Amino acid sequence: MGRRQGTRRTLVVAAVVAAVVAAGLAGCGGGDSPRLSRADYVKRAGAECSTLERASNELQKAQEVGATGSKVREYLAEAAAGLHDLADGLDRLMPPAVMEADADALGTALAEYGAGLQSLADEVGPDDTFQRALGANRELVRRLNGIAERATRLVARLGIDGCQLAA
């Protein structure tokens, strides 16, 4: 794989992660608390952004020059944990009934993406860079891209427009 193709793939994965991270704001409904108004739901979902920043930062570290093997695995696992924390935090919110199906679908997408990142982490070899791990796991990357596209559509339907992180 040429340097240009590897860089392009890294950018695609970074964009996918950013989309999923942005999508995370919509959340999934759950718990026994009363339903929130749309405005309150969006505000409280926005408060969950700290977990998004952690996941994004860990993914950036995984892509740094010199990051290989156990470090890449560690960073990917931390990013996965951040997405699971986000899904858990959003699950405690109770969206308005009209948003519940999409919020639940988004929570599922976040959990799937987190599990996919963990699977990618599990596949990283001792000398693998992030880019090498992506190249060796193309089907998983394709699946993650699909999850991110689904999450992006859900965010648009839910009308969440805060806390988006740059790719």
pLDDT-based confidence at residue 155 (cuts at 50, 70, 90): confident
Report the 10 Å Cβ neighbour count for 162. 12
Determine the residue type at 11: L
In a domain, 166, yes or no: no
In a domain, 165, yes or no: no
Per-residue pLDDT of 104-135, as tens digits, reads 998 898 899 999 999 999 999 999 999 999 99
Domain that holds residue 57: 3-24+34-158
In a domain, 167, yes or no: no
In a domain, 109, yes or no: yes
Domains held by the chain: number: 1
In a domain, 29, yes or no: no
**DSSP reduced 3-state for 81:** helix
Of 63 and 45, which is predicted with more confidence?
63
Per-residue pLDDT of 76-111, as tens digits, reads 999 999 989 888 888 888 999 999 998 899 889 889
pLDDT-based confidence at residue 156 (cuts at 50, 70, 90): confident
pLDDT-based confidence at residue 141 (cuts at 50, 70, 90): very high
Burial label, 92 (beta-carbon count in 10 A; 0-12, 13-18, 19+) = middle
pTM of this structure? 0.77
